[in-house]
Amino acid sequence: MILAARRIVFPLLALVLLVPACAGTHPPPQYVYDHKASFSGMTTYAWYADPNFKMPHGDSIVDGRFIDEHVRAAVDAALGRKGIQKVNDGSASMYVSYNTGDTGVASEDKDPNYEWLTGYSVATVYEKERTITVNIRNSAKKLIWVGSISRLEGENPNGVARSLDSDIGTLLGHFPPSP
């Protein structure tokens, strides 16, 4: 009887301990928008030539040009999936720009449950974290929507590119806001 109970209790205990470890630890994306703005009819876009734009800072994994090219390509792809077409500057119904925050360093325990159960830390991993903000302006170039996301960046150029694609897709998945 005790052996049968152990066969049930221990797997359940393991499941209860593992579920929190599998939960996402990323902060949610942040969105703000002008509630008076109309988002209907926004079917075309162009890149906004922001006079305050600064090329993203590179780091030990990728340079600023790599980040710029991948963010722009990810925005183009995400808006294209929504049926919003890229056009020349003069005929756009909305304008897009972006900026990035400085790369920071985030730490994460590889197995927090092991540390919780035993009191010993397996390993702490330090990864680079980047904040990306996408700005949407209306045809009069008035800022009407801002989305921002902070995520771990990846450990190699391919990981950084995948992260940028995913993060931009997540951000623009919430554009336009629900009426």
46 domain residue, yes or no: yes
- Which of 19, 15, 90, 109 lies closest to 49 in space, CA to CA? 90
**What domain range includes position 165?**
27-172
What local confidence, expressed as pLDDT, does residue 9 receive? 45
In a domain, 76, yes or no: yes
Q: What is the CATH number of the domain that holds 127?
A: 3.30.160
Question: 15 pLDDT band (50/70/90 cuts)?
Answer: very low
Domain count, the chain: 1
Average pLDDT over residues 149-177: 88
In-domain check, residue 62 = yes
Q: Calculate what percentage of the chain has a pLDDT beyond 90.
A: 49
Whether residue 164 is contained in a domain is answered as yes
Task: Please report whether residue 144 resides in a domain.
Answer: yes
User: pTM for this one?
Assistant: 0.73
d(CA 1, CA 65): 65
16 belongs to a structural domain: no
Confidence check: pLDDT of 43 > 70: yes
> Which of 59-73, 100-114, 154-168 is predicted with the least confidence, judged by mean pLDDT?
100-114
**And the tokens for 92?**
């756009």
On whether residue 22 sits in a domain, the answer given is no
Instruction: With respect to residue 55, please indicate whether it lies within any of the assigned structural domains.
Output: yes
Q: What is the pLDDT of residues 90-126, one digit of tens each?
A: 889 999 999 987 655 555 555 556 565 666 655 555 5
